[in-house]
A and B are shown apart, each in its own frame.
Chain A
Amino acid sequence: MPITVPDVVAERGKADARRHRDKQREAIRKRLPEIISEEAIITRREKGKVVKIPIREIQIPIFRHGSAKGRAVGAGQGEGGVGDVIGRRPGPGNQPGKKGQAGSEPGVDYIETEVEIEELIEMMLEDLGLPRLEEKNVREIIVDLGYKIRGTEHTGPYVLLDRKKTAKEGMRRFWHMLRALERDSGKDELLCYCALKQSGGIYAEALKLLRDKVVTEQAKEIIPFPILHADDMRFHKIVKNTALHSRAVVFALMDVSGSMDTEKKYFARSMLFWLVEFLRKLYERVEIRFIIHHATARLVPEEEFFSTGESGGTVCASSYELVDGLIESEYPASSWNIYVWHSSDGDDFYPDRSVVALKKLFERKINMFGYCDIRPGEERGERASGLLNSFVEAFQLAREKEGNLPVYVSHHEDVPLLGLQLRQKEDILPALKAFLKQDRWEE
């Protein structure tokens, strides 16, 4: 018979498919600097934890035609005149402002791979050589929750008497006494019981009644009753209720003076987004307070934080002073991990005043103060902004490198300061790495 139904054989495709997906993950890892600065990730409206990343299927390279400048060519069938668009799809690494080449690799479709933000963070951490974030890295804080009942004790006010437990102890004592009476008097159980009952639960008396043979109490069966001594009383134990909580507050500070344009705000938003994502992994609870400032500072809701365009002079100290006040009134360092993150182009009118205000913040034992010097497109290096330079001088910051990105850090434990110069999108990943390293050092 030519048509047959063969035996089922084991599936082989899955393992090889997994290998391909591992390779894709590897490809994502390589593109991390580009991916994490994708505007689409941080501006997406829905709060989902999953991001879609267009990624190619991994190809085995072959010699193929096509120049670097040439455009991809394919053949198709259908209606339409010359010049008509027959289709479109999201481009690779949707980077506004970056002139790209149209798919110089024709016929290879991007497939959208879904990656969780959490997974991206794991990749960044692995990339950084840091193990998974664990709770021990986090400063836990004792939170007072009032009182709670925790077990029992032998003494206490009568209102806290644990009736059930006390009765149980009393019953135990009853049976113990009964057995002891039987043993000591040699009389039968029922008679011992009657003696015990007659004596009102007092052992010595009951034994005497038995020995003197003057038991008058009559009973047909044993009905146990609790015999309570002071020892048998059980009271609820009351303890103070505290819990170890890990929580953090992020003060997001942004300069909204006239010079802070959309691009600078994009950097600020991008850094903040990832920062908060990291902190969320670390702490059970993360609060973010948004503060904008020009010459004066004020608290604003999130939407306003990124959309506000104001003008006026730049007095950074005003925002530090506002944070100082908030820490005092709402977020004492004894119960909060405090992060202050300031984004500005650093053209501060009174850098000295900022230094003074910052010193006060450090005295409050905040976890970290991060300063992002955002000047897109500018050369980086020694030409830091006025504000950053003041910090470098005042706090004797050391200039170190994270990848190609210069970072300014203090080696004093009392000065948890991290200064960054963001000049291009690719700086965001090393900036985040620098932040993570600093934070752990602080711990």
Chain B
Amino acid sequence: MLTPKELGRMNALEKRIKDIAEEFGLHTTEIDFEVVSARRMIEAMAYHFPTNISHWSYGRDYDRIRTIYEHTGGGIPYEVVWNFERPRAYLVANNPFALNVLTIAHVFGHVDFFLRNKYLQHGRSFADIAEEARHAAVKFRAYEDSYGKDAVEKIIDAGMSLQWHQNLDPFYEEQDEETVRTYLMQTERERLRALQNLSPTARKASEAEKKAIETRLKALRRKTPPEPVFDILKYAIDRAPLLEDWERDILRFIRNQARSLAPNRRTQLLNEGWATYWHARIMRRLFDEGLLTAEEHGMYLDFHAKVTQANKGDLNVYSVGPAIYEYVKLRWDKGQFGREYEDCTDPLKKEQWNTNAMKGAEKIFEVAEYYTSRMAAEEFFTPEFVHSQKLYIYEAERDEETGEIVYRIVTRDPEVIREIFKNSYTLYGLPTVAVVDGNYSDRGEWYLRHHYHGEELLPSYRNGVMAHLYYLWRRPVYLESIVEEKPKLFSYDGSRHSEST
């Protein structure tokens, strides 16, 4: 537990950190820091919000983080910060003092990113989601009493299964079907008018086209959705014929929560990178000013080294994230950007390129402001960067002799790696699936389409999601996709999965 003296010192340090952050050019605001138990922090990590609904998947994450923390001593929970109107963060009471100071510094980095980055600014418009989660926790318990625990769990499962299928554009303004329909019909009518203005001979030739437009216009009157939509949950909430009100309410909450968390997911690499980049500089300054003892600074360095360690099996955002900013800073300071630099083919000349442009500081703030992880991967995962970070792609293989799963490096090709990262950062690496028809075959069945870009859907998971789709729609569901380069139509009718070509 923190002694009153320590608490006093920590408050003084927090003030100083805020000043230093401002000197570095970071945006700051009042942040509520709460000193809590490790378990409370772990709960917050698993449940995403200070209070949230009850669900086994949160329990699973809680169990995993807690087990790692309590049994291995690793995975010290040290960082939870929320992008609320007034940002809120946790400190763990029994974490070492130096670690809590680091957390404060790290949180100031995040808060700047919240205030600066366009996507997270957007995320702040969902600031009341924490409040909504708090209410939902109470309300859902009442639903459990009325409709049964299982029924509540099933609808949450189904919602979570589809929650990341949001509109591809995070800034997309929602439109109701009627608006879209009116717009589409107007477009078709204009095409029709254009045909009528043609010369008589040309008009005759375009008779077939006219017919087609008329058919489309007729269909448009009843078609739902008028054009494919990617927000699957929203469509289910609005249109699923047999959902009950309380079920729609649950789905609405899940969707809102996912939408509020989406900007974080899209920028995680840059966000963690930014916070780590700045906490290192803030901590060094505190030490230089004599505000941290040598012992505390040593402890911080140990911890920092652990957190930023390269990971064999996963991309560590605390390692690669800050490296991006270091890399960008260096290049833009040396003037290694622009047409002339890009077009230069002499590797030696490129390496020694230095115009003393000193644009680094400006550029990293620009990256923090406008970029998503995907954009950063596209622009900065250059061969030079990929090599310096020792990035590779590995595959898992089954060793037939021992039955073990063996992980093997398959490529270090920077181009391949960049492509893979770009894709994995586009919509969280999820396949794009759109709702095409809510009244398929005029039987009120649900038809969705997977937009194939060279990668198939994993069958076991696909069937699992189909079952959830059925649970929402309660009538047969269809999914169009591509398997071995041939179109396939998968369906599920509540008891049987089938497929046709």
Contacts and interface: CB of A to CB of B under 8 A. Distances in A.
A44 interface: no
Given A5-B34, A105-B458, A13 B56 contact: no
A77 B461 contact: no
Contacts of B450: 63
B420 A75 contact: yes
A344 to B, nearest CB: 29
Closest 9 CB pairs of A and B: A16-B59, A61-B464, A13-B62, A17-B59, A77-B310, A72-B396, A17-B63, A20-B60, A66-B458
Nearest to A79: B390
Contacts of B374: none
Interface stretch (A83-91, A371-379, A427-435): A83-91
A78 B390 CA distance: 5
B39 interface: yes
A16 B141 CA distance: 13
A2 B33 contact: yes
A403 interface: no
Interface stretch (B174-182, B189-197, B274-282, B406-414): B406-414
12 contacts: A3-B7, A4-B33, A62-B430, A74-B394, A76-B394, A77-B391, A82-B412, A85-B407, A86-B407, A91-B405, A103-B398, A105-B460
A152 interface: no
A4 B32 contact: yes
B47 interface: yes
A60 B34 contact: no
B383 interface: no
A11 interface: yes
Interface in B381-407: 389-400, 402-407
A83 B408 contact: yes
B10 interface: yes
B247 interface: no
Given A13-B59, A80-B409, 15 more contacts: A2-B31, A3-B11, A16-B58, A19-B59, A64-B429, A66-B457, A68-B458, A76-B392, A77-B319, A78-B312, A83-B409, A86-B409, A87-B407, A100-B398, A100-B403
A2 B90 CA distance: 11
Interface in B429-479: 429-431, 433, 450, 455-465, 467-468
B236 interface: no
A6 B58 contact: no
B313 interface: yes
Given A67-B456, A73-B394, A75-B394, A3 B59 contact: no
Contacts of A143: none
A15 B405 contact: no
Interface in A159-208: none
A5 B7 contact: yes
Nearest to A109: B313
A103 B406 CA distance: 10
A73 B424 CA distance: 11
Nearest to A70: B456
A6 B153 CA distance: 31
B393 A75 contact: yes
Contact of A91 (B310, B312, B404, B417): B404
Interface in B41-79: 42-43, 46-47, 54-60, 62-64, 66
Given A13-B39, A62-B465, A57 B32 contact: no
Contact of A11 (B39, B396, B463): B39
Given A19-B59, A77-B319, A77-B390, A60 B396 contact: no
B320 interface: yes
B102 interface: no
A105 B392 contact: no
B64 A77 contact: no
B458 A65 contact: yes
B455 to A, nearest CB: 4
B37 to A, nearest CB: 7
A65 B396 contact: no
Interface string B69-101: 000000000000000000000010100000000
B371 interface: no
Nearest to B448: A63
Contacts of B408: 83-86
A106 interface: yes
Nearest to B158: A60
Contact of A74 (B14, B30, B313): B313
B311 interface: yes
Interface stretch (B160-168, B293-301, B347-355): B160-168
Interface in A1-30: 1-6, 8-9, 11-21, 23
Nearest to B459: A68
A13 B66 contact: yes
B157 interface: yes
B36 interface: yes
A77 B56 contact: no
B289 interface: no
B314 interface: yes
A104 interface: yes
A81 interface: yes
B316 interface: yes
B177 to A, nearest CB: 24
A14 to B, nearest CB: 8
B169 to A, nearest CB: 19
B450 to A, nearest CB: 7
B250 to A, nearest CB: 14
B165 A63 contact: yes
A58 B403 contact: no
